[in-house]
Structures are given as structure tokens and as C-alpha cells.
Chain A
Amino acid sequence: MTVAAGSAPPPEPDVPLIYRRGVRRLLTQGIYVAITAVVIGYVYTSLDLREFGFGFLNEPAAFKVGNQWLTDVDGVTNSRITMYLVGVWSSLRAVLVAIALSTVLGVLVGVARLSSNWLVAQMAMLYVEIFRNTPLLVQVVLVYTILLIGAPLIENVVNVGDFFFVSNRGMAMPWPVPDGGFWNTPDWFVGVWVAALIAMAVAAGRLRALRQDRERETGQPQFANRWAVGVFAVGALISFFVLGAPVSMDRPMIEGTHYIEGMVMEPEFTALVAGLTLYTSAFIAEIVRGGIQALPRGQTEAANAVGLSGYQRLTLVILPQALRQIIPSVTNQYLNINKNSSLAYAVLYDDLFRVANIVQNKAGHALEMFFVIIVTYMLISFAISLVMNFFNARVTAQRI
């Protein structure tokens, strides 16, 4: 009897139906689906779905959302969904800043933990042990409390040359704003200048790659980084003046008990970002340390043998290889930062979670609001994963 290659042998005729694998699987899944359906059905019937719908999001908000930056949306005329989007923008800001800072700090501490300097290594270990083992909520609230109690009142504000102000209402600093410049140009000239800057950044990156290639081919130093930075700086200056200086720095001022103009970092924002940064950087430090330690010792020794300095050894040999192991775990930490940013609630920073809670308090519809929250967090997580996967693909493209 011939059986086609790859196909299963015909079932024995005397095996009862119940013992056949396919039948069993079908039966198991049937029972499973039935049970799941009953559970979901129970949950569905016990929920109050009489008024289910998202129409309430279009009604006027009638509440204020603080901590706005670059937006000035009032809650009187705008809808609830608009206020929620303002909250999303606040969350995104905190998450992005916290990701950047915790990465820098985490890599520094992680490298310091492996320092040949005993004192530095011990300090780094202390840092990790302290911030990894205390609740993030307590860290955020503690920083917030210190900022409120420790910083001076706005009446006794610390004034650094009229450029920086520090008080318990936050830190104010100069910030670029559109300006008519020499020829009284309209505001959209800023856009032109930013576009020019981006174009020059791309060109500088291209130039850097070209010079690096030439250095690799000829062995002659081509100063790729210096060239790139120089070209970008000169181009930025020239385009700035050609466009008639469309941007000027806006210095902060104090009017009564409030900052006006400039950029203000409120204590709520600072506390949230500082808490997220301290907490996550301790975890990133451990990931970086693990990634470096997983490299064979020969890499360090080889780098020493060809005469690289400590800094060169780290940036040219060790970290590029360790990145392959580091990036997936660090991506997880970034996703955690995204989710943990909901702790803004504890310091009354108006992020998406807090705004959603306010909406829920005003309008009810808890189920719909939760649906909106989870979809938002998932979208942000998805965007972070997408960027990190792209980065990961670039790092792992080079085979070693």
C-alpha cells in the first residue's frame, strides 16, 4: 500500500471515535468555547448597557485641563473628546521626556556599575538598589512634595539673570517663539526654517556616512562627525538670517503669583518625569549591565590590545554589540514608562488617565471611558514598539 509522502496514515478502523486526535481536539475546543461563551454571556448580561455609546464625548466638557503646553484649550466651548486629546498630548510629552532621560541615565549607571573604579561601581549599585525597590508612586509623590515644600515661594523666587526662575510654581525658562524678524515676516516662516533645518540635518547625515565610508576605504581620518556638525551649524545660521530671523527667545516674567511667557515646567510635570526617570533608569541600568556582561571578555581585551581608550572601547566595541541584547528588554521598559505615566493621577498632572477619570466623574459611562483609555495606551505602546523594532532591525542587520 502506498501512502503519499507527508500525509497522515489512515486511522485504524477499530479505534473508537473518541480516542482520535482530531475528534478530541474538536471536542475540547467545543467545550472550551461553550464555557467561555457562558462566562462572557454572564458578564455581558450583568453589565448595564442601556446607555452604551460614545455620543457623550462630543458634549461640552465644562471642566478645566491644566498643564497645557503649546495648546490653550478651554473646557467651556470645547468637547470632552478635545479635552481628552489635550490629556493625551500631556501624557505623550511626559513619556517622551522620561524615555529620553531614563535611557541616558540608565546607560550611565549601568556602565558605572561595571566601572573599574570601586567607589563609582558601589555608588551605581546603591542607586539601582534604592530606586528599583521602592514603589514608583512613592517616588513620584516624594519628588512632588519636595518640589512643593523645598522650593521657594514665588514671592522669593530664585532668579538666574532674568533667564531662569525657580519657585514652587515650577521652573521657567526662555523659549523660542515666532517673531517678525527683520522684514516683519508672517509666523509660517518658522515652518520654512524648520523645514530647512530638517533638510540640512538629512544632508549632514548623508555627508557623515559618505566620509565614514571613505575613511573605511582609505584608512585616512576624514573627521566625519566634525564635518557633519559643522555643515549643519553653518547652514542653520545662514538660513536663519536669510529668512530674516523668524524666531526669537521669549524670556519668562513674573506677573503677580504666576509666570507669564517663556516655558514653564510645572512641579507636576517635573515630579512625574523625575519619578519615571529615576525608577526606570534603575531597571535600564541592570539591563545594560547584563548586556555588557554577556559579551565575551575577549572583546574588551581585543579593544585594549589595539590601543583604544576606555571611552572608545565602550562606544566603538562594547555598546554596539551589547545593544543587540539590550534593545528588546529596554523596549519593554519604554512600554512600562507609557503605562506608568498614568501615575500622573497621584500628583494631579492632567494626563489622559486623569482627564478620562474627570470625564467619567462628570458623565458616567465608565465602560466606554475604559475602552477609550485602553485603546489609547495600546496605540502609544504600538507606536513605541514600531520605532524600537525599526531600531532593533538596524542594529541586528550587521551580522557578527
Chain B
Amino acid sequence: MVDMPAQNPQRIVLPPHRERARRPRIVRLREWARRNLFNSRAGTALTIVTAIILGLLIYGVIYFVFVDANWRVITDNRWLLFAGGYPMDQEWRLWFSVGFVFLLIGLTYGTWASLGRRDHLFIVLASGFAILLLAHGGAAIWSTLWYLIAVGLLYAGYAITIRMPREAGPGRTLQQRSVAGLLIAALPIVLIVLLAFGGARPRELEGFVLNLVLAPVGIAGGLVIAIPLALGRASRMKAISWTCTTYIEVVRGAPLLGWLFVALFILDDVIGGELIVRAMVVLAVFTAAYMAEYIRGALQALPGGQSEAAHAVGLNQFQSMQLIVMPQALRISIPPMVGQAISIWKDTTLVTVILPLRELKGNADSAIAQFEFTPDRIEAYVFVAVVFWVVAFIMSRISQRVEGSLGIGER
């Protein structure tokens, strides 16, 4: 028989999960709530208690932010907090750097990842936060405009690179190499723009700008020292591995504050120079010890067959390191390295504690030292915390996306 005994031709039997999905949204919502919020008597009690705590917290935060707090301590000290002693007539250099870095972020995202809905939301929120700060005082319109141009550059860079083909090929390689090259060159370029050709003197770097300079220098310098250090520690030559191990263990033995103490009192005799340069050296040397340990872990995680295979096809020691072992080891060590980078980002606040260098937290201290703002200490520190949180969040988010697209953690 060809004729089907179809009494109800409209009725199509779907697999169970599709069947569930067809039910009205309100039913699905109720089911979801029953499963995730009210799955038992204890679960319901827990939900209610948590909801009350959450409600109180939200109430407290809203009351503090909109009623209790006096945010003039921030808005009146905008320049002090962000650039401090940086010469005001050179403001364009700061904005040029911001635009350049935003463009790079756009290029990186377009090349190795894509912006999701949550990324756009975050950019909009963070921009709202930034504009809220910038849109006060004399140069409000100009600084807001500068900022918007920077965000525009981010999207422009993204729009250009996201349209390029992702398939492996000479074009893709060229794209990846040029973006990576720009990323490597970014730090020197920004430093030149900020300091060279009539820019600020190094000691005039202050406030948030100082954090934004110190952290990348520490990270990049640390990475440069860390790679030979990790190889040295893993070396079979005793003299080399012992000295590298000693370096790593001694540096990790004392807190960063201790090493900054060294920068202040002891390094003066050894290398001299500006205090800020000594602080940078200490940050790099300190970070290197931690990064070296992550790279060493990655080297150990690589199967021994990799370097054996490299030797089998006739690569020498150096080539096998450069072409086979290091690329894989660095890839494995990206997640802990990002953690270390975020840690250094937060640790840049420590230069304020014993050095006479004033980064964001230090200048927040100066802001509340003014007579009219002495009652607003909590506001100032909350603001500092939020700013650090935003940048750390951006760092972890970018790394997550790039890790995902590089397939790290997968085989």
C-alpha cells in the first residue's frame, strides 16, 4: 500500500527536546524555575534567603551610588586621577595612545575571535562609564569626542579584519603576522608617543597612565626574561640550571613590596637612573620568575616525542626549540600567563605603597587629601577598584575569546 493511514497529516512527531521547546515560554520559564530555584524545600529556602541578601546588597549599592556618595571627588579630580603630573598641553598624546590601543583591540578581535552580544553590551556599558567621567568640566566635549573616536577606531579595525577570509592561506598568514607584529610593536610605539619629541619626562607619568604603562612593560619585559630562564632551568647543564633555579626561587621568596624596597634603596647604587625605570626593571624581573615557572610547566607537559621527531627530521637544537617546542609550550602556557598578567596589572598599585611614585591609587590618596574631599575616601577607593576591575575584566575576556579560537586546552 502506498497510501499512508494518515488521520492527522499536520501532526509531526518531534524528538523530546524539540517537543519541550514548543511549549509556551511561560510554561518553560516555570519549569526552569522549578528545576533551578525551587527544586526542594531546602532549595526554596536557600533561594529565598539568597534573594533577600541579594536585594539588600542591591539596595545598599544603589543607595550608596545615587544617594550617599559624593562623586565630585572623582569628577573634580579627573585629570589628577588619570594623568596626574602629565603636561596638560600634551593631552593629544594620551588620546593618540588610547586610540591606537583601541584600534589594536579591534584588529585582534577581528583576526582571532568575534564580538558577541555580551561584548557589545560590555563596550556600551564601559563607554557609558567612561563618558560619564569625561563629560564634566572645561574640556568635556573634546575629551568625550576623543573617546568616541577611539571607540570608532576599535570598531573600524574590527570591521576591516572580520571581513577578511579565515581560511588558511598566504593572505591569512600575512594578516596574522601583521597584527601580531603591531601588537609586539605597540608598547614601544606608545612609549615613544608619550615620552619622545617634546612629550612628558618619565617622572611625569602619573595616575592611571602610570598603571597603563607599568603593567605592559612588566609583562613584556617579564616574558623576554622568562623564556631563557625557563629553558635554563630545564637545561641539563648544572651551572645554568642551578643559577636559574636560584633566581626563580629567590625572586618568588620575597613579596613584590620587598623587591620595590630594593628598587628604592639598593638598586639606586647598582643601576641608578629614574626611579620609574627602576620600578619597571623590578616589575619585569619579578614577573619573569613566575612566568618562567609556567613556561617550564608547559615544557614538561609537552610529550618528549615532539623534540625527538624534530631531531629525526634533521632540525638542530635551536631550530627544534624555535619551530617545534616553544610555539607549543607558549600556547599551553597562555592561560596561566594571562592570570599572571592580570596579577601584575593589579600589583602596579603597589608602587604607591613605598615608592614616591603615584599611580591611580596614589593619586586617589592625593585627591582625598584635599580638605573638601576628606569625607569621600570610600568613594575614591571604590572608584579605583571599579577602574581596575574593568581593565582586568577586559584582559580576561580577550584572552578567553582568543584562547577559544586558538583551540587551547583542546587536542
Residues on A lying within 8 angstroms of B by beta carbon are: 25, 28-29, 32-33, 36, 42-43, 46-48, 116-120, 123, 129-130, 133-139, 141-142, 145-146, 149, 339-340, 342-343, 345-346, 353, 357, 360, 366-367, 370, 373-374, 377-378, 381
- Evaluate contact between B393 and A129: CB separation under 8 angstroms: yes
The smallest beta-carbon distance between A282 and chain B, in angstroms, is: 12
Q: Within residues 338 to 388 of chain B, which ones have a CB less than 8 A from any CB in chain A?
A: 342, 346-347, 349-350, 352-354, 361, 375, 377-378, 381-382, 384-385, 388
Measured in the bound complex, the distance between the Cα atoms of B39 and A46 in whole Å is: 70
Q: Which residues from 218 to 271 on chain B have a C-beta closer than 8 Å to any C-beta of chain A?
A: 236-240, 243, 250, 253-258, 261-262, 265-266, 269-270
A130 with B237: CB separation less than 8 A: no
Supposing A118-B36, A133-B388 touch, asked if A138 and B381 sit within 8 A by C-beta, the answer is yes
- B43-51, B94-102, B161-169: which lies at the A interface? B43-51
Closest residue of A by beta carbon distance from B383: A138
The reply to whether the CB of B54 lies closer than 8 angstroms to some CB of chain A is yes
Contacting residues, chain B, for A43 (C-beta < 8 A)? 270
Report chain A residues within 8 Å CB of B257: 342-343, 345, 353
A235 CA to B37 CA in the complex, in Å? 45
CA–CA, A378 to B253, complex, Å? 5
Closest to A142 in B: B381
Q: Taking CB as reference atom, which chain A residue is nearest B390?
A: A133
Q: Is the CB of A137 within 8 A of B262?
A: no
Alpha-carbon distance between A54 and B266 when the two chains are bound, in angstroms:
17
Q: Are A117 and B43 in contact (CB under 8 A)?
A: yes
Residues of chain A within 8 A (CB-CB) of B54 are: 119, 123
Decide if B396 touches A120 in the complex (CB within 8 Å): no
Contact partner, B50, options A32, A116, A120, A146, Cβ 8 Å = A120
Whether the Cβ atoms of B258 and A134 lie closer than 8 Å is no
B265 and A366 contacting across the interface, CB-CB below 8 Å: yes
Bound form: Cα–Cα A217–B36 in Å: 40
CA distance A339 to B353 in the complex (A): 15
A/B interface sample: 26 pairs, CB < 8 A = A25-B237, A42-B270, A119-B54, A123-B50, A130-B389, A133-B392, A133-B393, A134-B388, A134-B392, A135-B347, A135-B361, A135-B385, A136-B346, A137-B346, A142-B385, A145-B377, A149-B378, A342-B258, A370-B254, A370-B265, A370-B266, A373-B258, A374-B253, A374-B254, A374-B258, A381-B253
B253 near A346 with CB under 8 A, answer no
Q: CA of A374 to CA of B377 in the docked complex: distance in angstroms?
A: 33
Give the Cβ gap from A159 to chain B, nearest Cβ, in Å.
25
Contacts of B256 in A (CB 8 A): 339
- Whole-angstrom distance between the Cβ of B392 and the nearest chain A Cβ: 4
CB distance from B302 to the nearest CB of A (A): 20
How far apart are A296's CB and chain B's nearest CB, in angstroms? Answer: 18
Task: Give, as a whole number of angstroms, the nearest-CB distance from A21 to chain B.
Answer: 10
Interface pairs A-B: 3 shortest CB-CB: A366-B265, A339-B255, A118-B36
Complex formed: what's the CA distance from A135 to B342 in Å? 10
Contact status of A145 and B254, CB under 8 A, knowing A47-B266, A120-B50, A135-B388: no
Interface contact B353-A346, CB-CB below 8 Å: yes
Contact of A46 among B238, B253, B269 (CB under 8 A): B269
Q: How far is the CB of B383 from chain A (nearest CB, A)?
A: 10
Q: CB distance A116 to B36 under 8 Å?
A: yes
Which partner residue on chain B sits nearest A116 by CB separation?
B39
B269 surroundings in chain A (CB, below 8 A): 46-48
A119 to B353, CA, bound (A): 38
Determine if A137 and B253 form an interchain contact, defined as CB atoms under 8 angstroms apart.
no
Cβ distance A66 to chain B, nearest Cβ, rounded Å: 18
Once the chains are docked, how many angstroms separate the CA of A328 from the CA of B82? 40
| B368 and chain A: residue at smallest CB distance | A145
- The A contact surface, by secondary structure, is helix
A133→B240 contact, CB < 8 A: no
Cross-chain contact B255 with A139 (CB below 8 angstroms): no
Cα–Cα, bound, A357→B258 (Å): 10
Q: Which residues of B contact A149 (CB under 8 A)?
A: 375, 377-378
B240 and chain A: residue at smallest CB distance: A32
Does A133 lie within 8 Å of B353, measured CB to CB? no
Q: Which residues from chain B contact A134 at a C-beta distance below 8 Å?
A: 346, 385, 388-389, 392
Least distance between B256 CB and chain A CB atoms (Å): 8
Q: Within the complex, what minimum Cβ distance (angstroms) separates B45 from chain A?
A: 10
Instruction: Say yes or no: A374-B392 contact (C-beta < 8 A), given A47-B270, A123-B50.
Output: no
Provide the residues of chain A in CB contact with B239, threshold 8 Å. 29, 32-33
Let me know if A119 and B265 touch, CB within 8 A. Answer: no
The smallest C-beta distance from A273 to any residue of chain B, in angstroms, reads 17
The distance from the CB of B229 to the nearest CB of chain A, in whole angstroms, is 13
Given contacts A47-B266, A117-B36, A377-B255, contact A133 B389 (CB under 8 A): yes
Taking CB atoms, residues of chain B closer than 8 Å to A32 are 237, 239-240, 243
Q: With a CB–CB cut-off of 8 A, which chain B residues contact A137?
A: 346, 349-350, 352-353, 361
Q: Cβ of A48: which chain B residues have Cβ within 8 Å of it?
A: 269
B258: which A residues are within 8 A, CB to CB? 342, 353, 370, 373-374, 377
What is the CB-to-nearest-CB distance from A268 to chain B, in angstroms, rounded to a whole number? 15
Min CB distance A342 to B, Å, is 4
Question: Beyond A29-B240, A145-B377, is A117–B50 a contact (Cβ under 8 Å)?
Answer: yes
Chain B positions within 8 Å of A145 at CB level: 377-378, 381
Whole-angstrom distance between the alpha carbons of A309 and B349 in the complex? 46
Q: How far is the CB of A281 from chain B (nearest CB, A)?
A: 16
Closest chain A residue to B379, Cβ basis: A145
Indicate if the CB atoms of B240 and A139 lie closer than 8 Å.
no
**A133: contacting residue among B253, B270, B382, B396, CB under 8 A:** B396
Residues of A within 8 A of B382 (CB): 142
Q: Which residue of B lies closest to A33 (CB)?
A: B239
Q: Which residues of A contact B393 (CB under 8 A)?
A: 129, 133
Q: Chain B contacts of A139 at CB under 8 A? A: 385
Extra contacts besides A47-B270, A370-B266, A373-B258 (11): CB < 8 Å: A117-B36, A133-B388, A142-B382, A145-B377, A339-B256, A342-B255, A353-B258, A360-B261, A366-B261, A367-B266, A373-B254
Q: Which residues of B contact A346 (CB under 8 A)?
A: 353
B352 contacts across to A, CB distance below 8 A: 137
Q: Nearest CB to that of A286 among chain B residues? A: B339
Residue interface mask B173-205, A partner, CB < 8 A = 1: 000000000000000000000000000000000
Q: How far is the CA of A119 from the CA of B55 in the complex (A)?
A: 12
> Inside 8 A of B39's CB, which chain A residues have their CB?
116-117
Who on chain A is nearest to B342 by CB? A133
Report whether B266 and A340 are in contact in the complex, using a CB–CB cutoff of 8 Å: no
In the complex, are the beta carbons of A36 and B243 less than 8 A apart?
Answer: yes
- Per the bound structure, the CA–CA distance linking A25 and B346 in Å amounts to 41
- Most chain A CB within a 10 A radius of its CB, from B37, B51, B257: B257
B378 touches A357 (CB 8 A): no
**Measured between C-beta atoms, what is the minimum distance from B354 to chain A in Å?**
7
Closest CB of chain A to B307's CB: distance in Å? 16
How far in angstroms is the closest Cβ of chain B from A378? 4
Contact assessment for A118 and B37 in the assembled complex, using a CB-CB cutoff below 8 Å: yes
